[in-house]
């Protein structure tokens, strides 16, 4: 992809970010009255309790919508889509680089959307076709020395507004992983909601699977899809 094309995409990403923020303000004000979010760890995210979604297919193999270092089942009617890399190394462009301040700002916005700590967003599974507002997102990184717990803690630390994190370990498909449930408070909306994520480390690098949602109610309704992904997780 050329520099001009990347700049155009980054501009769209910036607009999309601002649009999401504006839409989120409207939806939260009208549909999500603020309620206290418990900081007490629960078994919901871990899969120790609660239902598991019906499988709608497998994600991860080269023949699927997103090729990943791991594979797992996606919930019925959820729609996966690959996400383009956040940015490419431009160190070889030299004096030919002519990025404007607007391009730099758009690039920063794109990175804010597509990078978090040691990993980058590569795939998102949309819950809207199944009737919920939110995504199950997959992030990957380069191979390194960090274990799953360190990767996950760095991921959470990079999310401004995250607090009250409760970590645990799990085993699935021959993989040893780390899992977290935490509270995210938006600085713009002054609203708190639950989120959760898991991390595993493969020979091809770390993988983080994250579940957010418009609010805690939406997050809770989508947990069966997260549990399905966790229970069917394995290396590809």
What mean pLDDT do residues 92-110 have? 57
For the purposes of burial, counting CB atoms within 10 Å of the CB of 91, is it exposed (0-12), middle (13-18) or buried (19 or more)? exposed
pLDDT band per the 50, 70, 90 thresholds, residue 191 = confident
In a domain, 192, yes or no: yes
In a domain, 7, yes or no: no
| CATH number of the domain where residue 123 is located | 3.40.1000.10
What does the pLDDT read at residue 7? Answer: 32
In a domain, 16, yes or no: no
Domain around 203: 35-88+117-235
User: How far apart (Å, rounded) are the C-alpha atoms in residues 42 and 229?
Assistant: 18
Lowest-confidence segment of 23-27, 75-79, 215-219 by average pLDDT: 23-27
In a domain, 210, yes or no: yes
* Interval 16-58: pLDDT, tens: 333 333 333 223 223 333 333 443 444 444 444 689 999 999 9
User: How far apart (Å, rounded) are the C-alpha atoms in residues 202 and 204?
Assistant: 5
In a domain, 93, yes or no: no
Strands 79-82 and 119-126: antiparallel
Domain count, the chain: 1
Is it the case that residue 68 has pLDDT exceeding 90?
yes
In a domain, 104, yes or no: no
In a domain, 220, yes or no: yes
User: How far apart (Å, rounded) are the C-alpha atoms in residues 60 and 52?
Assistant: 19
Residue 75 three-state SS: strand
Cβ–Cβ under 8 Å, residues 52 and 231: yes
Which position has the higher pLDDT, 225 or 94? 225
In a domain, 135, yes or no: yes
């Amino acid at each position: 992809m050329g520099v001009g094309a990347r700049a155009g995409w980054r501009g769209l990403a910036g607009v999309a970010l601002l649009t999401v923020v504006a839409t989120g303000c409207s939806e939260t004000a009208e549909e999500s009255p603020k309620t206290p979010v418990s900081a007490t760890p629960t078994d919901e995210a871990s899969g120790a309790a609660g239902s598991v979604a019906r499988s709608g297919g497998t994600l991860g193999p080269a023949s699927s919508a997103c090729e990943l270092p791991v594979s797992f089942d996606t919930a019925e009617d959820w729609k996966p889509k690959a996400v383009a890399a956040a940015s490419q190394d431009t160190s070889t462009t030299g004096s030919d680089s002519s990025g404007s301040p607007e391009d730099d700002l758009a690039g920063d916005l794109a990175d804010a959307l597509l990078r978090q700590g040691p990993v980058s967003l590569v795939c998102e599974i949309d819950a809207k076709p199944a009737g919920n507002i939110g995504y199950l997102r997959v992030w990957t990184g380069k191979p390194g020395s960090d274990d799953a717990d360190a990767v996950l803690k760095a991921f959470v630390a990079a999310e401004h507004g995250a607090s009250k994190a409760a970590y645990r370990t799990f085993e699935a498909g021959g993989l040893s992983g780390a899992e977290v449930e935490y509270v995210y408070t938006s600085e713009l909306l002054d609203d708190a909601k639950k989120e959760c994520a898991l991390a595993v480390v493969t020979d091809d690098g770390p993988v983080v699977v994250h579940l957010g949602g418009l609010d805690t109610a939406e997050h809770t309704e989508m947990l069966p899809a997260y549990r399905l992904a966790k229970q069917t997780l394995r290396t590809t």
